[in-house]
Structure 1
Amino acid sequence: MNNKITLYIKTIVMLAFIMFGVFVIFSSSIYPISADNTKKLEKSISAPSQNHPASEFEKKLKIAFLTDGLFSDAGWGAFGYNAAQALEGKYSYMVDYKENVPIPKIEETLRDYANSGYDIIISHGFEWGKPAVKVGKDYPETKFVIFTGLVNSSNVASIYPMQQEGTYVLGALAATMSKTGIIGFVGGERYPNLINIYEGYKQGAQDVNPAVKILVTYLDDWDNSTKGKKAAISQIDRGADFLLQVADTSGHGVIEAAKERGIYAFGAISDQNKLAPNTVLTSFVLDAEKAFDRIITLVKTSNFSGQIFKPGLEAEKGASGDGIVYIAPFHSLEHTVSDNVKLRLEKLKEDIINGNIKVPERYSNNIGNYLNNTG
């Protein structure tokens, strides 16, 4: 009997030790209570690992995107806004957006953002150049980028895409397909960038057909679709059967007139086919996302300097190389362009990219005065 009691007690003691050991192991695996374990946990959160690259732990840049245009214009303002948004998504940086800034308020707006501690201020429009240089002197740590600009200083860089290389292709296409031998151009304002765009269009058309006639109208108004439509109808009445418009929301009126009269129009800056799918044959487009991405990279690698970048044509959106100007697809109008014409256009693009065809910058004689008086 005593032996049975002794055996029973031993069994209970052994079970107690086993249960206690299980409890210790179980609780220590869930609750890392030791000081050593706490240090290990803190280290795993703060230090980059293979799953969390060092770039994720860098300072988050504050970026501002400012324009005197409208984000709703389906052209100049919209494409810039979309490009800046893409950067915001890619890098998770904070980007503040401001549209419709009155020209007289440009300097004040730049100064407000610089004073608020923004690291990069992307100014969307030629007229932002001179004010940015002036404000930049007071905020040497802030990086200013003008798209499209022709100014620079130690902390102000400009991106001035060779849009005339894109419009050269459109001019060649228009002159090739025109049945009347007359094509048109409607611009928002007669300033250097627009003159340069027109001259590329003219060169492309005349290289294909030296006898082609090109009608030109400058509206002096970027936000008046009625005015744009009236100018387009005037050109169509004079025989134009292809129209290139570079006029922001005024250009919507040009597209509307082309749609009503049954001719083709070209889009500008953005792929504007969606505005009139059976009318907008193609567009010349600026790959602003690619351009802005390079600026961000220069800032991150401490290689930003005040330069004027002049990227030209690229074979297609996002292609390798420095180009940021490309020709949009024909979309549902693909069947209206013959294979021979498509092959010819591809050859023209290749020759421009390789330098076999030169499309130089051309401006009015008073570009110096324009730059001095802008802003």
Structure 2
Amino acid sequence: MKLLKRTWTAGLTLLLVSALLLAGCGNGNGGAETNAPSSSPSGDAATEIPKALPKVAFVYIGPPGDGGWTFEHDNGRKYMEEKLGIKADTVENVPENADAERVITELAQNHDIVFTTSFGYMDQTFSVAQKFPNVKFMHAAGYKTADNMGTYFGKNYEASYLSGIAAGRMTKSNIIGYVGAFPIPEVIYNINAFMLGIQSVNPDAKVHVVWSNTWYDPTAERQAAISLLDKGADVLLAYQDSPATLQAAAERGAMAGGNDSDMSRFAPEAYLTNPTWNWGPYYTKVVQSVIDGTWTNEQYSGSMADEMVGLAPFGTNVPDDVKKQVEDAKAKVLSGEFQVFTGPIVDASGQTKVEAGKTLTLDEILAMNWFVKGVEGTIPK
């Protein structure tokens, strides 16, 4: 995959000419690309000292047109560009293997901060960060950090729980399907949160899980959805980047939600709701911190309260009383009155995993490798 390389010849000429003109005028400012200026404390005749704009890059697992995960990251990039006047570089369809390390390495050679936007880029990002200590790296959904590498994600399980309330109310067969992407904690704890939401309104319902082992493969995801529909599932949720599960459900007269983004436009009458992401404000904050010299290698976890995580609008066939029940639960999540993983919680084998009155820590949630009671399926090792 070839990366776009910038041509600096014209810019260099302009810089040299500007430098000569500024020197002739007795002005000591350079000719670098600048952001919004800050004032110099030199009395009434204070001058403006501009801050250099960083060079920013994003690495995408899929195409921005996927309608889900990469679509929302790309929306976040555009939001940041508009707010800060920066044009970022992007590389899409980068697989989570040695190709990722090559791409990240190439970007690190001429960028100040690189966002790697998939869990499977974690080791490659960490490796490249060791080689480029002056470049900042931010990795989505991972847990490894370095002096120049931070992580970011959000508590999308809050919205998965709310989606579960809607699913539990809308099912008639009490067979609900979930098309899981990969058997990693991120997907597992969202399936569990979905099941807990269902149980809060419909203890008789079960969730059947099928793994697609994909992030974006509409054909494989459609086939997985059909296998669940063939079992009698009348409501589905999925954790992939495409709307394939929703579209398959619509063809069978079932209801479904997607993931990452509002997918109602693909099948509004069959649409339930699903967790969504809003990356723009966070990307803006991080890049601004690089401009200001205040960047830190944080491990950030956003939530519904800070609006990094959201819940998509309901489909046209979701009744008002179901919407109200979900909205009432959402208010408790936003206020902090309710925590999704508060006990008692029993796993699929009948073992108590969370005692009554106890709440899992974020670290415990992020390491989850078990299903709650009511989830039918296995977690491959």
Scaled by the length of structure 1, the TM-score of the pair is 0.76
Q: Say whether the 8 Å CA contact 1:175–1:208 is kept in structure 2.
A: yes
What's the counterpart of residue 357 of structure 1?
338
Shift of 1:63: 0.3
Matched, 1:330 2:311: no
**Within 1, Cα distance between the matches of 2:66 and 2:36?**
38
Matched, 1:306 2:317: no
CA gap of 1:144–1:53, structure 2 versus 1, over 3 A, is: closer
Task: Name which one, 1 or 2, has greater alpha-carbon Rg.
Answer: 1
Q: Say whether the 8 Å CA contact 1:126–1:150 is kept in structure 2.
A: no
Shift of 1:182: 1.8
**Within 1, Cα distance between the matches of 2:120 and 2:366?**
18
The DSSP-based 3-state class of the residue aligned with 1:94 is: coil
Larger proportion of helix? 1
What's the counterpart of residue 91 of structure 2?
98
Matched, 1:202 2:195: yes
Shift of 1:74: 0.9
**Within 2, Cα distance between the matches of 1:284 and 1:232?**
18
Quick one: which of 147, 160, 168 aligns to 2:140?
147
CA gap of 1:111–1:53, structure 2 versus 1, over 3 A, is: closer
Q: Which amino acid aligns with 2:298?
A: Q
Q: Say whether the 8 Å CA contact 1:273–1:283 is kept in structure 2.
A: no
**Within 2, Cα distance between the matches of 1:275 and 1:165?**
24
What's the counterpart of residue 204 of structure 2?
211
What's the counterpart of residue 247 of structure 1?
240
Matched, 1:54 2:47: no
Considering only aligned residues, what root-mean-square deviation do their CA atoms show, in Å? 2.5
What's the counterpart of residue 18 of structure 2?
none
**Within 2, Cα distance between the matches of 1:362 and 1:145?**
18
What's the counterpart of residue 17 of structure 2?
none
1:270-309 alignment, distance < 5 Å: 270-309=261-300
What's the counterpart of residue 174 of structure 1?
167
- What are structure 1's unaligned runs of at least 5 residues? 1-37, 315-321, 367-375
**Within 2, Cα distance between the matches of 1:121 and 1:53?**
22
1:21-170 alignment, distance < 5 Å: 54=37, 57-103=50-96, 104-116=98-110, 118-170=111-163
Shift of 1:263: 1.4
Q: Say whether the 8 Å CA contact 1:149–1:158 is kept in structure 2.
A: yes
Matched, 1:268 2:259: yes
Shift of 1:365: 4.1
Q: Which amino acid aligns with 1:150?
A: Y
Q: Which amino acid aligns with 1:87?
A: M
What's the counterpart of residue 347 of structure 1?
328
Percent of residue pairs bearing the same amino acid type: 28
Shift of 1:77: 1.4
The DSSP-based 3-state class of the residue aligned with 1:277 is: coil
**Within 1, Cα distance between the matches of 2:366 and 2:88?**
35
1:166-217 Cα offsets, whole Å, 9 max, x none, are: 1010011100121222211102221221112211111111122222111111
**Within 2, Cα distance between the matches of 1:53 and 1:189?**
43
Shift of 1:300: 2.8
1:103-132 Cα offsets, whole Å, 9 max, x none, are: 22111211111112x111011101122222
Q: Say whether the 8 Å CA contact 2:79–2:281 is kept in structure 1.
A: no
Q: Which amino acid aligns with 1:110?
A: I
**Within 1, Cα distance between the matches of 2:324 and 2:130?**
50
**Within 2, Cα distance between the matches of 1:240 and 1:365?**
24
Q: Which amino acid aligns with 2:130?
A: K
| Count of residues in Structure 1 that have an aligned counterpart in Structure 2 | 309
**Within 1, Cα distance between the matches of 2:129 and 2:217?**
33
Q: Which amino acid aligns with 2:105?
A: R
Q: Which amino acid aligns with 1:193?
A: E
**Within 1, Cα distance between the matches of 2:108 and 2:318?**
49
Q: Say whether the 8 Å CA contact 2:177–2:235 is kept in structure 1.
A: yes
Matched, 1:183 2:176: yes
**Within 1, Cα distance between the matches of 2:175 and 2:75?**
35
Shift of 1:158: 0.6
**Within 1, Cα distance between the matches of 2:106 and 2:328?**
48
Shift of 1:97: 0.6
What's the counterpart of residue 12 of structure 1?
none
Shift of 1:160: 1.9
**Within 2, Cα distance between the matches of 1:309 and 1:362?**
13
**Within 2, Cα distance between the matches of 1:102 and 1:341?**
40
**Within 1, Cα distance between the matches of 2:177 and 2:222?**
13
CA gap of 1:338–1:221, structure 2 versus 1, over 3 A, is: closer
What's the counterpart of residue 45 of structure 2?
none
1:40-68 Cα offsets, whole Å, 9 max, x none, are: xx799x89xxxx95269321111001122
